[in-house]
């Protein structure tokens, strides 16, 4: 017999490959998420949402009051001191330079405000 029979070696390689394919997703998939439940609790009050609107010119409006970026930081710090679970919705105008939005989001991150949403409008709805 001049040739080496590699059939058992290939069988072993395929079995090991199948084992690694099956076990690897369980080892790597450790992403933790807090998914929303379908229904809000009936007795829970609705949270107050602080709205930040950014106009096309970069003007920042917090809850219907015009603010500069530094005034916004002071106002959000005061609100965050009283309500640690504050919720913020950021809405940018349709043609806003996105750097203004990023500046506001960066400020929210610096203040450790984690409950942030980006507000959008559906087609046909004016802002």
Summarize pLDDT for 62-110 with one digit per residue, the tens: 888 898 888 989 999 998 888 888 889 999 888 888 888 889 999 988 8
CATH of the domain at 95: 3.30.420.270
Res 12: pLDDT: 93
Q: Indicate if the pLDDT at residue 24 is higher than 80.
A: no
Q: At what angle do helices 98-110 and 69-82 cross, to 10 degrees?
A: 40
DSSP 66: E
The whole-chain average pLDDT of the chain stands at 82
Q: Looking at the domain assignment, is residue 109 inside a domain?
A: yes
Burial class (CB within 10 angstroms; exposed 0-12, middle 13-18, buried 19+) of 6: exposed
| pTM of the predicted model as reported, rounded to 2 decimal places | 0.59
Q: Looking at the domain assignment, is residue 6 inside a domain?
A: no
Which residues span the domain enclosing 86? 49-118
Res 13: pLDDT: 94
Band the pLDDT of 21: cuts 50, 70, 90: confident
Strands 49-54 and 60-62: antiparallel
**Number of domains the chain is built from:** 1
Q: Looking at the domain assignment, is residue 100 inside a domain?
A: yes
Q: Looking at the domain assignment, is residue 26 inside a domain?
A: no
CA dist 91 and 119 (Å) reads 5
Q: Looking at the domain assignment, is residue 94 inside a domain?
A: yes
Q: Looking at the domain assignment, is residue 95 inside a domain?
A: yes
Q: What is the mean pLDDT of residues 17-31?
A: 76
Q: What is the mean pLDDT of residues 11-34?
A: 80
Res 40: pLDDT: 65
Q: Looking at the domain assignment, is residue 85 inside a domain?
A: yes
Q: Indicate if the pLDDT at residue 125 is higher than 50.
A: no
Q: Looking at the domain assignment, is residue 82 inside a domain?
A: yes
């Amino acid at each position: 017999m001049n040739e080496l029979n590699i059939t058992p070696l290939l069988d072993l390689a395929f079995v090991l490959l199948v084992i690694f394919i099956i076990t690897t997703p369980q080892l790597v998939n450790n992403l933790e998420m807090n998914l929303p439940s379908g229904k809000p609790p009936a007795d829970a009050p609705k949270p107050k949402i602080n709205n930040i609107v950014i106009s096309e010119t970069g003007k920042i409006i917090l809850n219907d009051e015009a603010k500069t970026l530094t005034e916004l930081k002071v106002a959000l710090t005061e609100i965050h001191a009283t309500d640690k679970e504050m919720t913020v919705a950021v809405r940018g105008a349709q043609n806003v330079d996105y750097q203004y939005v990023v500046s506001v989001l960066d400020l929210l991150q610096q203040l450790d405000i984690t409950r942030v949403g980006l507000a959008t409008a559906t087609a046909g709805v004016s802002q």
